[in-house]
A and B are shown apart, each in its own frame.
Chain A
Amino acid sequence: MKIALHVPCYINELNPEIARKTLLILRHFGLDVSVPKNQTCCGQPFINSGQPSTLPQQFNEIFKDYDYIVSPSSSCTSTIRSQELEVSKKMYELCEFLHDILQLKNLAKNYPKKIILHNSCHSLRHLLEGAPSELNIPYFNKIKKVLGDEILEAKRDECCGFGGVFSVKEGVISYVMGRSKLDDLISTGGDVITGVDYSCLMHLKGIAEKDGDNIEIKHISEILYEALEL
């Protein structure tokens, strides 16, 4: 099984540790993982800004010979999956891959802190990694399964207000959405907020820092890395 690590461009620039830890997690499970050096951007920021992009086609060229492409980002995964490309069906968000392909669960059961899961929209309502409250389907949550049953969730499974280009076009509404999301997450009584999209987390972190909330925020790969004692 030949696996490629997708390194989302914003993670490469702003929090490269997420990429490193994702790689180590995958290798921990004995997988043959490569990191294509010529990868750039999946095209998401352009497509979502109304600018047509051929970056997904380039992505396809770079990654098409792998069996699976694993990404620590559900929004990049969803961008590629919504295209009709050879790689579309082979790309997985990290937890989705651990759940669907490796069929792993309870990986964070010995984690010393109470974990709060922020279900990002791309994970929940685009990739359907869990059951969104809008749908009449039985409850499930793959990320929670991978981490463990004790994981806390917010009351409202709504958007945190990041939305990429939205966060710079509509700063105030983006902030108030983030603020109510943070309040909801913090009120669960947990210690550390996590999620599969560092973009949402960066937004929540930015608010928490400016507003002086005393809460830890970490990407899921960082939690798993610690929990697996890598």
Chain B
Amino acid sequence: MKHYELAVKFYKEKGPRHDQALWAIRQKRDKAVKEVPEWESLRQQASEIKDYVIENLQNLVDEFIKNAKNEGIEVVFAKDAKEHNQTVLQYLKEINAKKVVKSKSMLTEECGLNEFLEKEGIEVIDTDLGERIVQLRGEKPSHIVLPAIHTTKEDVAEILGEKNTDPTYLTHKMRELLRKEFLSADAGLSGANFLVANKGWAVVCTNEGNADLGAVLPPLHIISVGVEKLVPNMNDLGLFLRMLARNATGQKITTYTSIFGKKENGKRVIILVDNGRFERLNSEFKETLKCIRCSACLTTCPVFRRSGGHAYRYVIPGPIGSLLGPLCDKEEYKDLPFACTLCNSCEMVCPVKIPFSKQLVKMREYVTKENIALKLAEKSMHYPQAFKLFSTILRLTPKPVLQAALKEWSRYKALPSIPQSRFIK
């Protein structure tokens, strides 16, 4: 099913509540960014840093690898999802791991790591509470920062087999269940929000502390991260830390911002993943590599708020997903850049100023196969006479025929009445 059908289905069940919940977060975000008088100049600086990063990506990767190795971290470069998954498996096999605890990582979703490891007989426990909820429901996250925003407390109670639907009770119940998993896991997997090139450190931001438990308890910690998450230095990191949580949820900063170097009493591995990113550098969509996955474009998107994340089908939904999805599979996700009114709210909230509207319009062109009718229409519109002809046809067509031709419009809206004469005759 395409976005349109899934969106309608979702909206009927949960749309208004979902819209309200996300709009409330958008308002918290507005309040938090308005507390920072220099916010707009921070966006400009962040955008410039990310422009620098994508222009100097290979150098920064090299610098990071050198420094991380000096720190005592093993670093592996994986050119694609398959190589990434194989690398993770190899490290897990070395210690004969049977169970891993994982904290939120959109990259491992992109690589399909959970399914891959489960086929290899390794149990993967998602530990972010939202991700655990969707994992137990047999779903994927519907939002990259709020993975279970499409569910209700009743849904959570049901999946846990509980009668009590009190959110505090349910949260602490999950904490109790997951604490046991943390204490018995063989390895911890996580993503990273940033990599600091001149230090060789990985930075992970969470509210729950799950990434830290996964990093500190088992003897092996594997960080999977896309190469575009590099920042040159600590000052740049500081800037992004001022922005990330404010823009994502309206918090001033996440509860934990963990900077990982060498792991005490164990091994830490960073897998730097390309999976098409270097190739994208040479495309007209290179600006999508600036994304820091703050999720503000999802939360603000009026279409996303009403259609829910699953309607996008790609692991990353919303405006940024409508760019990344078709880059991953053009045919499968060709509807996504059209699941958009070009309202430009995404561009306004983007902390790194990705030119969303321009990119989405380009993406529409990228996914649109040659359409002879459109092409002819475009050619004919160069001639006022063709316009006149079109205009005459429009005026001669009976209203029921027009209504049938424009059935998506006519289902919910009256057609405008067409006046007899035009202004430019």
Contact = CB atoms under 8 A, between A and B. Distances in A.
A140 interface: no
A163 interface: yes
Given A40-B383, A125-B348, A206-B415, A136 B340 contact: no
Contacts of A165: 338
A90 interface: no
Given A55-B382, A167-B408, 7 more contacts: A20-B423, A49-B364, A54-B378, A134-B345, A163-B340, A207-B412, A209-B414
Interface string B287-313: 000000000000010110011000000
A173 B422 contact: no
Contacts of A134: 30, 300, 345, 348-349
Contacts of B3: 170
A40 B382 contact: yes
A66 interface: no
A126 interface: yes
Given A14-B419, A134-B349, A162-B341, A169 B4 contact: yes
Contact of A125 (B40, B303, B347, B415): B347
Contacts of B423: 7, 11-12, 16-17, 19-20
A121 B409 contact: no
B119 interface: no
Contact of A173 (B7, B368, B383, B406): B7
A106 interface: no
Contacts of B238: none
Contacts of B406: 168
Contacts of A15: 416, 419
8 closest A-B pairs by CB? A163-B341, A206-B413, A50-B368, A171-B408, A134-B348, A50-B364, A16-B423, A159-B343
Interface string A52-74: 11110010000000000000000
A230 interface: no
Interface string A154-197: 00101101111111111111111110100000000000000000
Interface in B131-160: none
Interface string B358-374: 10010011111001001
Contacts of B33: 136
A187 B409 CA distance: 25
Which interface class (under 10, 10 to 19, 20 to 34, 35 or more) fits A? 35 or more
Contacts of B335: 169
B414 A170 contact: no
A171 B348 CA distance: 25
Contacts of B307: 173
B387 interface: yes
A149 B34 CA distance: 24
Contacts of B303: 166, 170, 173, 177
Contact of B343 (A38, A163, A210): A163
Contact of B368 (A13, A35, A41, A49): A49
A16 B40 contact: no
